[in-house]
Amino acid sequence: MKKIMIYGKGGHGKVVEDTIYQINQAIEVAYFDDTSNPYRADYEPEAKVIIGIGNNEVRQRISTEVKHAFDTVIHPTAYVSPSAEIGEGTVVLANAVVQANAKVGKHCIINANVTIDHDAIIEDFVCTYPASYVAGFARVTALQTLKPGQVVWKSEVF
pLDDT digit string, tens, across residues 36-45: 999 999 999 9
pTM of the shown model: 0.95
The catalytically annotated residue of 12, 68, 75, 118 is 118
Residue 129 is which amino acid? Y
Query: Taking Cα atoms as reference points, which of 110, 91, 105 lies closest to residue 7?
Result: 91
Query: Taking Cα atoms as reference points, which of 101, 109, 139 lies closest to residue 12?
Result: 109
Whether 157 maps to a domain, the answer reads no
Whether 147 maps to a domain, the answer reads yes
Asked if 58 and 113 sit in the same domain, the reply is no
Distance CA 117, CA 25 (A): 30
The domain boundary residue, chosen from 65, 84, 117? 65
Reply yes or no on whether 75 is catalytic. Answer: no
Asked if 23 and 47 sit in the same domain, the reply is yes
Residue 108 is which amino acid? C
Distance CA 15, CA 10 (A): 9
Asked if 43 and 91 sit in the same domain, the reply is no
Per-residue pLDDT of the chain (158 residues; tens, 9 = 90+): 789 999 999 999 999 999 999 999 889 999 999 889 999 999 999 999 999 999 999 999 999 999 999 999 999 999 999 999 999 999 999 999 999 999 999 999 999 999 999 999 999 999 999 999 999 999 999 999 999 999 999 766 66
Q: Which domain holds residue 42?
A: 3-65
